[in-house]
Amino acid sequence: MKIFYSCLEDYDMAIDDFILEYETFPLIEKDEKHICDYCKESSAYRLRKMEDVADHSDDMV
């Protein structure tokens, strides 16, 4: 399962791409430790499938 990382500017594109690939809405979490998949700036969010999440409710947006 791929995790999508996005900055604030590429957030909409990441959501669109996630929905196209997985046909479901992503779980959106804060993430400033990675690089945006689109522009290579610092990430602000990570998007992943709900069923792949243990208990990270403190990270959710």
pLDDT tens digits along 17-38: 999 999 999 999 999 999 999 9
d(CA 28, CA 48): 7
Let me know if residue 10 belongs to a domain: yes
Kindly state the percentage of the chain with pLDDT values over 70.
84
Let me know if residue 56 belongs to a domain: no
pLDDT of residue 60: 60
Q: pTM of the prediction?
A: 0.79
Let me know if residue 61 belongs to a domain: no
d(CA 48, CA 26): 5
Cα 39 to the center of its chain, rounded Å: 14
Contact 22, 4 (CB under 8 A): no
User: What range defines the domain where residue 28 resides?
Assistant: 4-51
Is the per-residue pLDDT at 57 higher than 70? no
Whole-angstrom CA distances from 49 to 6, 41, 45, 46 are 15, 23, 13, 10
* Structure confidence at residue 50 as a pLDDT band (50, 70, 90): confident
Let me know if residue 37 belongs to a domain: yes
